[in-house]
A and B are shown apart, each in its own frame.
Chain A
């Protein structure tokens, strides 16, 4: 604090040096955002058709600096350690941007044909992505909070985008209220963390927590618990999940895909930052919390998913269960920090590919069936075999059947849990194995409808799938297969050097 005040004294202020190369992805996204707004306000209605294309070009352009930064290697630290561009953050940024690219492909026809506001849709989407990209590099409580709000607030609006539909309004409102509530809890926790740690930088807090040891335990525990609960809302972990199914079902399906994949991943990234750079010094507090969250999420999510009749709701609950699998490596964060973090990142990347793929097919099929009821998928294999096979593969991947990507995601989690050789780790692994089998039942119910049943209304004329959707499905399918057959690629990308707390 005194250091901050000293800087404010006249003559003491030094402008921080900016590394424009490191910030280039964020800058490109910001420029895209501005271009979109300008285009809309200057050309008005005539701009509508070109919005998706401009958005996609912007997103692709943002990938270029990521590649050059990756080629450059190394870690770039800015703003006194508050903003760090390291290999892990590059992988995560790429994940967010590519996911957003696929979501734009999914949205193009949906938004245009539904006669919704288009320009604003893409503006909000890009600003949300910007928030996620910032999140991947933030190593500071304030940075994390700002990024969280930047990515959440546009998402609240997007969830309510189908203005005419009361369910969509409900989705947006629920998401908003729950999100704000979570933010409040998070902020309160952060204020406690600041009070104990004496700094907003994660690294400093971590060092300070280590220093004070077991002193002041109640307040430290309270602080950690509040912060974790705030993020548990974001990643829809049980028991903080109740908003997810209603929001997912009511929101426009492409937005649901965005929330289920990118937004959830952003929540996990925040958890990774906070846990691995700061709270890791207190495994005695965080590991039991994560054990409870993970086991509850996978079990409850799976059991409720068994009863769903709507495929989007089913995917929502399955997403809760999958969040449980992703929370599992945190249970052994203290024993194997490097490997467990890698397991989470691998899971995030593969989950994004297979889940986006599943949503893409659901959107394509819904153009024909007009609903997400599982029954309405009957006979799909007869008249749209390509889409039926694609969805089957995505679902099989979500179950974790090799050689599709999902198996490696699950495998790497199992591996780290077993290798930690702790009681909690083993327990989590066994609960997870049982849950894998339970999950197969409801994923296969969808496959069963497509393959075994006849079309419910006897209408078997195939529907034309727009090129964008086909591209999205193909992209996701290729990624799912490649990650499954050659998981080495992914492990190389995510095998980050062990980061000291000072990194």
Chain B
């Protein structure tokens, strides 16, 4: 078993969704139930492989790449088919394979307009392959391929199954990301060419650590990667695609976008940009820190001004990813740990919030906050779940969100040697103020939607009912994890620590 997983585990988990999608192409469009079943079975099978990998992972050496796959691929350019799993990739891989089956369960009776589950599910499975591949690829070109595979399915999910402004939102999402990744690939080529062995393999480049590349060149190359990853995160001022994409995407699209896709950006910083170009990273760190904190405050203020619940959650993502980026910009292992925890926590919590927004929209046919109200009266269970998630999102201790935010702020107290301490301490104070604002907009949201009595227009609407079975199945695991990670943060920190401390050590933290 272990041997099989060592050789094939990562290939299997990456391409299993794609195989499922190919099978689904052969089944006619009319048999919708078959498609639902096939998609769910594929996602579950992928998750089972994920669990097997988790069980066979050697946690005592989480800093090393395990289940390493290494094959010839494009010889001329020295690009190899290398995949591996370490403590940095593992939580994100688990998040991805865990959340996808839940999305399919939720879709059982929530196929967005205009229907056609066949195409919808095929796109989601292709998306899953892209996301998993990005997290396990250990070669710049292979990473780039998977990173880009994600684009088209998401574009079509937003564009076909999205809201009224879907065309604008989908093309905006696409162009922003493509622009970033075009400059990113130029930076990748530059890094590879300037490295001694002209390789694209990430561990080799990391070991090499930018030696021989002058500081000025590193700053330029890091700039290219910064655009590619920063747009994906998204960092202020490149965030404007996110509220549009989130608001217009179907519920499933929003959940995947929030839970996994945004993490591709932060993961890229940790996996590639920082360890490969340490000198460049040190020069850019203050810039990233400042932009991250602007994102925190700007996102929070924008949240206070929103009238649409989904758009509010979207802007809260900008703020939360700001905390993650602030943690990354400190270049310390505490910061990196906080960042990975923040990614997972944000994935669980915000994914959950988007699920809730989708279900509320389905019942009320609107997400305008002032028309909602009294959710606790009309659908008490859903109201309590919303309560839990807003508390988690604002960083209440005991829930997962706390461990993403608190260490992130803490890490800014003592940034890596060489970075300006006064600057980062100022950033720390401002970021801490951001948590107050976060409590403000989230509590206000909860108060306006859940408390009070239902508004007149919905008071006697028979359409509004409490949580349904597919929703329970989809949500329960997320809720449990939010609480469990809140109480036992070590579950993630212990896995990430060995991996990220290597990166922090290399960058001189």
* A interface residues with partner B (beta carbon < 8 Å): 381, 385, 392, 396, 399-403, 407-408, 411-412, 414-415, 418-419, 429-430, 432-434, 436-437, 440-441, 444, 447-448, 451-452, 486-488, 491-492, 495
Contacts of A434 in B (CB 8 A): 179, 182
Interface string of B191-207 (1 = CB under 8 A from A): 00100000000000000
The CA of A247 and the CA of B119, in the complex, are separated in Å by 38
Do A441 and B76 form a contact, CB below 8 Å, given A434-B182, A451-B160, A452-B166?
A: no
Q: Which residues of B does A touch, CB under 8 Å?
A: 29, 72-77, 119, 141, 144-145, 148-149, 151-152, 155-156, 159-160, 166-167, 170-171, 174-175, 178-179, 182-183, 185-186, 189-190, 193
Which chain A residue has the least Cβ–Cβ distance from B76?
A: A491
**A392 neighbours in B (Cβ, 8 Å):** 152
From B155, B166, B178, B183, contact of A430 by CB (8 A): B183
A396-B152, A419-B189, A451-B159 given as contacts; is B174 within 8 A of A444 (CB)? Answer: yes
Complex-state Cα separation, A232 to B193, whole angstroms: 31
| Given pairs A401-B152, A418-B186, A452-B170, 18 additional interface contacts (CB within 8 A) | A396-B152, A402-B149, A403-B145, A407-B145, A411-B185, A412-B77, A414-B185, A419-B193, A433-B183, A434-B179, A437-B182, A440-B174, A444-B155, A451-B159, A452-B160, A486-B74, A491-B77, A492-B76
Contact assessment for A430 and B186 in the assembled complex, using a CB-CB cutoff below 8 Å = yes
Q: Give the docked Cα–Cα distance between A488 and B185 (Å).
A: 18
Decide if B189 touches A451 in the complex (CB within 8 Å): no
A488 near B178 with CB under 8 A, answer no
Report A-chain residues with C-beta under 8 Å of the C-beta of B151. Answer: 401
- Given A401-B152, A448-B171: A491 in contact with B189 (beta carbons within 8 A): no
| A418–B189 CB distance below 8 A | yes
Contact sample, A vs B, 18 pairs, CB 8 Å cutoff: A385-B29, A402-B144, A402-B149, A403-B145, A415-B77, A418-B190, A434-B179, A436-B182, A437-B182, A440-B175, A440-B178, A447-B156, A451-B156, A452-B166, A452-B167, A488-B73, A491-B77, A495-B76
B224 to A: closest C-beta gap in Å: 9
Is the Cβ of B186 less than 8 Å from the Cβ of A403? Answer: no
Enumerate chain B residues within 8 angstroms of A437, measured Cβ to Cβ. Answer: 175, 178-179, 182
A229 to B262: give the CA distance in the assembly, Å.
Answer: 47
Q: Please indicate the chain B residues that have their CB under 8 angstroms from the CB of A414 in the complex.
A: 185-186, 189
Q: Which residues of A contact B179 (CB under 8 A)?
A: 433-434, 436-437
Which of B73, B74, B171, B183 has the most C-beta atoms of chain A within 10 angstroms of its own C-beta? B74
Contact among A418, A436, A441 with B193 in the assembled complex (CB-CB below 8 Å): A418
How far is B141's CA from A407's CA once the two chains are assembled, in angstroms? 11
A454 to chain B: closest residue by CB: B114
A399 touches B193 (CB 8 A): no
Complex formed: what's the CA distance from A440 to B178 in Å? 8
Partner pick for A491 among B75, B159, B174, B183, CB 8 A cutoff: B75
Which residues of chain B are near A402, meaning CB under 8 Å?
144-145, 148-149
Q: How far is the CA of A91 from the CA of B144 in the complex (A)?
A: 29
Report yes or no: A448 in contact with B159, Cβ–Cβ below 8 A.
Answer: yes
In the complex the two chains form, is A452's CB within 8 Å of B182's CB? no
Which residues from chain A contact B141 at a C-beta distance below 8 Å?
Answer: 411
Q: Hey, which chain B residues are within 8 Å of A487, CB to CB?
A: 74
Q: A419-B193, A495-B76 are in contact. Are A403 and B149 (CB under 8 A)?
A: yes
Question: Which residues of the partner chain A approach B178 to less than 8 Å between Cβ atoms?
Answer: 399, 401, 436-437, 440
